[in-house]
């Protein structure tokens, strides 16, 4: 399997020529699958110290910033230095949503120059988009970030969409144009050493609901054309990661009695994304604390279903309960399930391989 061979090479680059990918324990591997939000905005805050300790212990593989985590650019730099120093042998993913327009964590209020929305940028030239996103990524990298959760490649199919159209997050309705604009986003970030994540697979632009709020059924509105940007970007080697949404489509629900959103559906992730579209990279879930998931599955079932469906990284915003120990709790569940289910353990090994390969590329070693 190609990604495992690449990951083994990446492991040598990270751990040295005498190291083996498979010398890592299941505990090490499982930790890399956990990416969590945190509380606090300064290096001395309890929540910041908690996730830094979890990074050092290998129980989480990354953190995600939200607006409350940002008090100043100096404080962000200091926290990110601490996160990186906690695990120098396999640096954590340090992520945020900095799409532009209304979807941003770093703002002018703290001295960070903002950029227009995707819809506005999509009306301009490709060269202008490349310059804008390249500058953005350079500034993110200077602050210590190595993952921007974008670009949005949803198609602007529903003018009344409450989460995509409302916030001008889509580049447009034409899938070729959307893919071209997304390529400019990706190219600009790669040049700065910042990873990206195509979202929201398999397409959120046609929906009439918001998965933050609850169950969203797109069976009657989703269109096959919504896969086109993914197909093109994957084929062109421009997909670092793909983020899977919590939308439900009865036509891709398998034969089970449970209505599974795409993020928990093997049919979508292993079937469409991997087998049909040929994506071999890292799959990351959308925030698994959104009500579309949280109202229907408890934490353990969410984790088990997410892993078996094919997610490599489990994203939890840590906003529902705001528990400094959430990352360690998720990690413990992963390890416990791996100990009783060989298939689950194999999924963790596969995910670890993909994540290590991605981190190696972000570190300039792949």
Residues 191-204 have a mean pLDDT of 98
Contact 150, 92 (CB under 8 A): no
- Of 97, 156, 210, 286, the catalytic one is 286
Phi, psi of 162 (to 5 degrees): -80, -10
pLDDT at 298: 96
Residues 317 and 65: their CA atoms lie apart, in Å, by 9
Contact 301, 288 (CB under 8 A): no
Q: How confident is the model at residue 11 (pLDDT cuts 50, 70, 90)?
A: low
pLDDT at 213: 86
% of the chain at pLDDT higher than 70: 92
Query: Which residues, including other chains, have CB under 8 Å from residue 340's CB and lie 6 or more apart?
Result: none
Asked if 42 is an active-site residue, the reply is no
Residues 60-81 have a mean pLDDT of 98
Residues 75 and 10: their CA atoms lie apart, in Å, by 32
- Measured CA distances, 191 to 98, 144, 146, 147, 233 (Å): 17, 15, 12, 13, 17
pLDDT at 19: 45
Adjacent-strand bridge partners of 36: 63, 316
* pLDDT tens-digit series, residues 234-282: 999 999 999 999 999 999 876 667 899 999 999 999 999 999 999 999 9
Contact 285, 311 (CB under 8 A): yes
Adjacent-strand bridge partners of 313: 284
* pLDDT tens-digit series, residues 121-153: 999 999 999 999 999 999 999 999 999 999 999
Q: How confident is the model at residue 161 (pLDDT cuts 50, 70, 90)?
A: very high
Q: How confident is the model at residue 16 (pLDDT cuts 50, 70, 90)?
A: low
Q: Is the dihedral of CA 198, 199, 202, 206 positive or negative?
A: negative
The residues spanned by each domain of the chain are 2-362
pLDDT at 266: 96
- Average pLDDT of the chain, as a whole number: 93
Asked if 212 is an active-site residue, the reply is yes
Q: Are strands 241-244 and 62-64 parallel, antiparallel or unpaired?
A: unpaired
Strand, coil or helix: 94? strand
* pLDDT tens-digit series, residues 72-111: 999 999 999 999 999 998 999 999 999 999 999 999 999 9
Contact 58, 335 (CB under 8 A): no
Q: How confident is the model at residue 4 (pLDDT cuts 50, 70, 90)?
A: very low
* CA 355 from centroid of its chain's CA atoms: 11
Domain 2-362 classification at class level = alpha beta
Residues 30 and 72: their CA atoms lie apart, in Å, by 32
pLDDT at 18 over 50: no
Contact 243, 197 (CB under 8 A): yes
**And the tokens for 228?**
């086109």
* Residue 202 neighbours by CB distance under 10 Å: 24
Residue among 149, 49, 52 nearest 95 (CA): 149
- Of 28, 42, 212, 217, the catalytic one is 212
pLDDT at 366: 53
* pLDDT tens-digit series, residues 30-41: 999 999 999 999
- Strands across the sheet containing 282-285: 282-285, 241-244, 195-201, 147-148, 93-96, 62-64, 34-37, 314-316
Adjacent-strand bridge partners of 314: 34
Residues 3 and 281: their CA atoms lie apart, in Å, by 8
Residues 325 and 38: their CA atoms lie apart, in Å, by 9
pLDDT at 8 over 60: no
Q: Tokens 């896969």 identify what position?
A: 227
Residues 302 and 220: their CA atoms lie apart, in Å, by 26
Contact 90, 14 (CB under 8 A): yes
Look up the pTM and report it.
0.94
């Amino acid at each position: 399997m190609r990604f495992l061979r690449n990951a083994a090479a990446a492991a040598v680059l990270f751990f040295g020529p005498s190291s083996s990918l498979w010398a890592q324990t299941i505990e090490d591997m499982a930790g890399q699958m956990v990416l969590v939000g945190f509380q606090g905005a300064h290096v001395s805050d309890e929540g910041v110290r908690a996730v830094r300790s979890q990074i050092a212990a290998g129980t989480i593989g990354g953190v995600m910033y939200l607006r409350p985590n940002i008090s100043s650019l100096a404080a962000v730099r200091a926290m990110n230095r601490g996160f990186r120093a906690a695990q120098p042998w396999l640096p954590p993913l340090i992520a945020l949503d900095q799409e532009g327009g209304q979807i941003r964590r770093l703002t002018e209020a703290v001295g960070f120059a903002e950029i227009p929305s995707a819809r506005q940028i999509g009306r301009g030239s490709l060269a202008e988009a490349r310059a804008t996103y390249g500058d953005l990524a350079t500034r993110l990298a200077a602050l210590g970030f190595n993952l921007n959760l974008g670009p949005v490649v949803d198609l602007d199919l529903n003018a009344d969409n409450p989460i995509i159209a409302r916030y001008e997050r889509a580049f447009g309705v034409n899938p070729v144009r959307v893919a071209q604009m997304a390529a400019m986003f990706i190219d600009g970030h790669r040049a700065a050493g910042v990873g990206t994540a195509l979202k929201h697979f398999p397409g959120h632009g046609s929906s009439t609901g918001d998965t933050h709020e609850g169950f969203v059924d797109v069976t009657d509105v989703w269109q096959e054309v919504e896969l086109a940007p993914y197909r093109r970007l994957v084929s062109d080697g421009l997909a670092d990661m793909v983020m899977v949404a919590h939308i439900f489509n009865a036509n891709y629900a398998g034969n089970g009695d449970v209505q599974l959103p795409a993020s928990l559906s093997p049919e979508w992730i292993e079937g469409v994304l991997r087998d049909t579209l040929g994506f071999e990279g890292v799959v990351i879930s959308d925030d698994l604390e959104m009500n579309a998931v949280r109202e229907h599955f408890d934490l353990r079932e969410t984790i088990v279903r997410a892993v078996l469906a094919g997610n490599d990284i489990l994203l939890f915003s840590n906003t529902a309960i705001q528990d400094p120990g959430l990352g360690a709790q998720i990690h413990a569940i992963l390890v416990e399930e791996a100990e009783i289910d060989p298939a689950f353990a194999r999924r963790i090994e596969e995910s670890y391989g993909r994540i290590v390969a991605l981190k190696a590329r972000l570190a300039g070693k792949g």
